[in-house]
Structure 1
C-alpha cells in the first residue's frame, strides 16, 4: 500500500478517535480555554504521530558465540529481533505508479487552489480596510463600513455603519475585542491552512466548526461576566442574526452558533478539570497504535561463492566512512558467511549473523577500514576471541574478531589502511578467519559488504565443490518446473505498460519452446495461461521434479536500484543444490554484464515447501525505468530466456 495512503488513513483514524472523545466528554464541559487547547493539540498530534518512530521492543535470547555481536559499550551480549527478514526492502502494489502519481498530482493542485483562495481572503480584508472609515478606540483599530455583521481579524474589528448609533455597540465591541486579545485569528488561520492542504478530510470541517464554537463560547463568557446580564446579551445576539458570506480566518459576531451559545450561557455547572487527565492514557495508546514501529531491515545475506557483482565506485571523500577490505592480502580472501540469518556452524541453530566472515590464513594484516579511534580491545578464549572495535567519528563503528594479535590500544588514533591486528583463529571458531562488522550511529547492524568498494567478489569467488554438482539423474530427463509468478486475479507488480504476471508468463512460454524437442530436459509449467494458481498447487508439482524456478519482478523504494536477484532457501536438504543453480544462473548473466545478486531466505512459501532444489528469480525492478524498459522489450525477454536456458543445460 502506498506510503501516503497509509499516512492519511492513520491521520483520519486518530482524528476520528479524538473528535469522538471531545464530542462525548468535553464538548459541553464549560472549560473553553482547555477545549481550545485540546482541539488544536488533537489536530497537531493527528498529523505528527504517524511520523513518530517507536523502538522495537521484541528481543530474543542470544549466546556469546562466533556470529553474535558483543561489541556494545559495556561488552554485554546484544539482543536481536528473531523475526523472519525480508530479503530486500520492496513495495508491492497492484496499482500502477502512473495512476498514483496522477492522483497525488490532482490532490496537490486542488490544495494549491485552496491555499490561493486563503491568500486571496487576506487581500479581501485589506481591501475592506481601505474602503472603510478607520477609528482608533482604546488602542484598537475599528473599521466602519457597509458590512452586514460585525467581525474581527487579528488586530482589527469591522462593524457596520449603522451599529455605532445602537445601544448594543459597546457590548458587541467588547465581544470582538475578546477575539483580538485571545488571538483567535491565529487559531483560525492555522485551521484554514491545514484544511486547505487536507481538504479531502471530512473530519477537519467538523474540527473547524468546533473551534469556531469554542471561540464564541470564550467571548460570550467574558462579556456576560462583565455585564452580569445574560438575557440582554442574548437579545443582542438575536438582533444580529443575518446571513453573510464569511471570510476565512475572520471571527464573526454571529456565525451559525446562536442556539448552542445560548445553551452554553445558561449552563451553570462546569466539568472538573481533573477529567482532562483521562486524555493522557488515550494519547499514549494512540501514539503506540499509530506510530511507526522501528524494525531492523537487512539487505540480502550473502554466502560463499555467491557471484555478487559490485560496482567500482570512487572512495568516499569522508575519511571516517568504512570503505575498504579489512585485510591487506585480499587475494587470499574467501567469503565464507554473509550478513543475515543462518544456521550457526557450531550450535546448529538459526542465529542472526550480524557481520561477515572472511576465510584467510592466520597472521595476515588486518587494517582499519576508515579513520577513527580504538574504542575497545579484548582478549578471550571464547566467543569472538581476541577482538577490537573502532569508533569512526561517531558516524560508524567497525568490529574485528577472531584475531591472533592486536597491535593497538584503547584511545589510539588510527587511519584508513593502517595495520591494527593480525588474522587468527581465536575464540569459538571452526577455522582461521576474520569476523568483521559495521554499525551506524544508532548502533544498527549494517551489511559490511555494502561498504567495501575496493574488492570485486565475483572475480575472487572460490570455485568450491559446486562445479562438480549436477542436478537430476544422468540417465533420465531433467524435470524443471517453471512457475510464472501470480496470474489471474493476482497481477503482481504493475506499471502503466505491463504487469508482472504477463512478463513471467512470456518468459515461461519461451523456455518451454526452447526445450520442446529436448531429450535431456522436460519443462513443466505451473500455469500456461493467465489463471490463478494457489501456492500449494504450484509446490505440489515439485514432488517428482529436479528443479523449481519461480519467476518474478519486484519494485524497490530506490528507483536507481537495478539488478537481478536469485533467492534460495539455505535451511533445507536442497540448500546446496539450490545454491548451485543460483550460482550457475549468476554466472550466465554475469557474462552478459547484467548486475546479479544471490541471497537466501527461508520465509518464502514456495522455497520453504518445495520438494526439489528451488530458486525464486527476480528478473528486475519495475521501479527502475531502464529495468522496466528491458523487461518489456523483445530483446530483454529473449536474453532472460536464453540465460535461463543455458543455466538449466549446464546444471544437467
Structure 2
C-alpha cells in the first residue's frame, strides 16, 4: 500500500478512536476550555503520531521465531503462466486514489468559495465603532458572527441590553482565536472527508466553541434566563454566513440545556489523564509496526510484476555467454560460468531482522523487482501438471552483501521451490546492512506465488 494511504489510514483510525473516547468520557462535563484544548490537540495528534517512533525499540532485534520472519517479508511476487489481468489491483487503487483526490479538490474549491464570500461580506460592510468595539455592519439581515478580529453585527437591530450580549459573545470568539479551530477542521475535512468521525468531530468543536462564548456571557453577570430567550429571538429566522463562529441558532436546544447544567466538580477533570496512556498506546503501536517492517523499507513502493511470465524453463546455473577462438575449428565456444557462492555464515554470528541501515539492492527497490521479474520462470513441468502455490524463500544478506543461506521455508513442489531458490541465489551482491557503523548479517523472507491462468 502506498505510504500516503497508510498515513491517512492511521490518522483516520486515530480520529475515530478519539471521537469515541471523547463522547464517552468528556462530552458531558462543563470544562469547556479543557475540552477545546483536548479536541484540537487530539485532532493534531492523529496526524503527527504516525511520524513518532520510539527509537530505543528499533535497535538490535534477534529473530525469535518463524512467525516474526514471515511478518517482515518482502512484497509477494505473483508469477503467472499467461498475460496478467490488465485490471489489476494496482489500477483499481489508482482509480480510487483519483476519485478521492477529485472529491478533496472539490472540497478545496468549496472552502475557497466560502472564504471569498466572507471577504465579499467584509469589504461590503462599513466599519463602525460601538462602545469601544469595531463592528462591521452587513447589508441585509444576517445573524451576528465573527471571523478572527472581524465582528459582523448591526447594532440598530438590537436593544442596548441585547447588543451588549451579542458583542460580548462575539468578542469571546474573536479574542479566543476560535476561527483557528474552524480552519483546522476545514483542512481535516478536506484530507479525511470519507471518515464520518471527522464530520462528527467538527460538530463537537463548533458546538463547544459556542458553549465557551455562552458561558462567558453568563459569567459576566447577565441573567441566564434572559440570555436564553435572547438566543432564540436573535437566531431564529436569520440567514447564516460561512466559515465563522457566531451568535447563531446552531444546536440551540443543546446550548440552552448546557447553560442550565450544573457545573462539573474540579476533581472530575482528572479523567483527562486517561488521554496520556491512549496516546502512548498509539505511539507504541506505530513503533512496533516500524520495528517489524523496517527490515523491508521497500514494501510500500514495490509494484506487482507487470511483465508477462509465460516462458518456462529451469536453469540450474548462472550462464554467461563468452566467446573464444578455437584453434582448430575457429568456431565460437560457449562457456558456462557459475556465480561464486557466498562463504558459509559463522553460526556464532548474530543475524538481524532490523538494523539502522538496511541492505540495499544495486539500483534500489525497483531494480530488485525488475531483476526478479526478468529472471523468474514458471517451470514447464509445473504448468503441465497444474501445480501452483506460494513458495516462501528465506535468505541472509551477509556482511559482504552476498546472498547466503537461501532456503525454502514453505514449499509447494520441487520444481517451483528450485525455481524460486535459483532466482534468489542469482541475485548480484547487495550493499550490506550496518548497525552502529559495522556491517552485519540481515535476514529477509520473500514469498513467490506461482499461479496458473485459467
How would you bin the TM-score normalised by the shorter chain? 0.5 to 0.7
State the alpha-carbon separation in 1 of the partners of residues 278 and 115 from structure 2.
37
1:419-458 equivalence runs, <5 A: 444-447=356-359
The 5 A counterparts of 1:215-226 are: 215-226=209-220
1:163-312 aligned within 5 A: 163-165=157-159, 167-243=161-237, 246-271=240-265, 272-291=268-287, 292-295=289-292, 296-297=294-295
| Residue equivalent to 2:121 | 128
Give SS of 1:337's match.
Answer: coil
Partner of 1:352: 351
Shift of residue 242, structure 1, vs aligned partner: 2.4
Contact 1:568 1:600 in 2 (8 A): no
Q: Take 1:220 and 1:109, find their aligned partners in 2: how far apart are those partners? A: 39
1:25 and 2:31 aligned: no
Q: Determine the structure 2 residue equivalent to 1:337.
A: 342
Shift in CA distance, 238/306, structure 1 to aligned 2, threshold 3 Å: farther
Q: For residue 84 of structure 1, give the secondary structure of its aligned residue in structure 2.
A: helix
SS in 2 for 1:134: strand
- State the Cα distance separating 1:39 from its structure 2 match: 0.6
Assess if the C-alpha contact under 8 Å between 1:87 and 1:601 holds in 2: no
| Greater gyration radius | 1
Q: Does the CA-based 8 Å contact 1:11-1:47 persist in structure 2? A: yes
- How far 1:176 moved relative to its partner? 0.8
> CA deviation digits over 1:191-232, x for unaligned, max 9?
112212222221111111111111111111111011241111
1:102 is aligned, of 92, 95, 98, to 95
- Answer whether contact 2:406 2:421 (CA < 8 A) is retained: no
Alignment of 1:530-609 (within 5 A): 601-602=406-407, 604-606=409-411
Give the match's secondary structure for 1:141.
Answer: strand
Q: CA deviation at 1:109?
A: 2.4
Q: Give me the whole-angstrom Cα distance separating, in 2, the residues matched to 1:212 and 1:570.
A: 56
> Following TM superposition, by how much is the alpha carbon of 1:599 offset from its aligned partner in structure 2, in angstroms?
6.6
Quote the offset at 1:281 in angstroms: 1.0
Deviations 1:370-414 (A, max 9, x none): xxxxxxxxxxxxxxxxxxxxxxxxxxxxxxxxxxxxxxxxxxxxx
**Whole-Å Cα distance in 2 between the matches of residues 262 and 107 of structure 1?**
39
Give the Å deviation of 1:139. Answer: 5.1
Residue-pair matches, total: 359
Instruction: Give yes or no for the alignment of 1:11 onto 2:26.
Output: no
Within 5 Å, give how 1:364-513 maps onto structure 2. 444-447=356-359, 508=378, 512=380
Alignment of 1:525 with 2:386, yes or no, is no
Distance 1:308 1:293 in 2: 39
2:110 counterpart SS class: helix
Give 1:606 deviation, angstroms: 1.4
1:241–1:254 CA contact under 8 A, matched in 2 = yes
- The answer to whether the 8 Å contact 2:142/2:239 transfers is no
Q: TM-score, normalised by structure 1?
A: 0.48
Seen in structure 2, the aligned counterparts of structure 1 residues 119 and 87 have a Cα distance that, compared at 3 Å, is closer
Is the 8 Å Cα contact of residues 154 and 180 (structure 1) preserved in structure 2? yes
TM-score (normalizing by structure 2): 0.66
CA distance in 1, matches of 2:109, 2:213: 30
Greater fraction strand: 1
User: Is the contact between residue 192 and residue 248 of structure 1 (CA under 8 Å) also seen in structure 2?
Assistant: no
- 1:112 to partner: Cα distance: 2.0
Confirm or deny: 8 A CA contact 1:142 1:156 kept in the other structure: yes
1:132-171 alignment, distance < 5 Å: 132-137=125-130, 140-145=133-138, 146-160=140-154, 162-165=156-159, 167-171=161-165
The answer (yes or no) to whether the contact 1:84–1:603 under 8 Å persists in 2 is no
> Aligned partners of 2:227, 2:152: CA distance in 1, in Å?
19
Measure the CA separation in 2 of the matches of 1:133 and 1:449.
67
Counterpart secondary structure, 1:135: strand
1:118 to 106, 111, 118: 111
Find the aligned partners of 1:184 and 1:618 in 2 and give their Cα distance.
64
- State the shift of 1:133 in Å: 2.7
Structure with more contact order per residue of length (Cα contacts < 8 Å, sep ≥ 6): 2
Question: Is residue 55–residue 294 contact of structure 1 (8 Å, CA) maintained in 2?
Answer: no
Superposed CA RMSD in Å reads: 4.2
CA contact (8 A) 1:114 1:197 kept: no
Instruction: Report the Cα distance in structure 2 between the residues aligned to 1:156 and 1:568, rounded to whole angstroms.
Output: 66
Q: Quick one: distance in 2 between partners of 1:245 and 1:619?
A: 70
| SS of corresponding position for 1:169 | helix
Answer whether contact 2:295 2:358 (CA < 8 A) is retained. Answer: no
1:469 corresponds to which residue?
Answer: none
Which has the larger helix fraction?
2
Alpha carbons 1:154, 1:185 under 8 Å: kept: yes
Unmatched 5+ stretches in structure 1: 60-77, 310-333, 355-441, 452-492, 494-499, 513-522, 536-549, 551-566, 572-596, 621-652
Are the counterparts in 1 of residues 235 and 247 from structure 2 also a CA contact under 8 Å? no
CA distance in 2, matches of 1:81, 1:226: 65
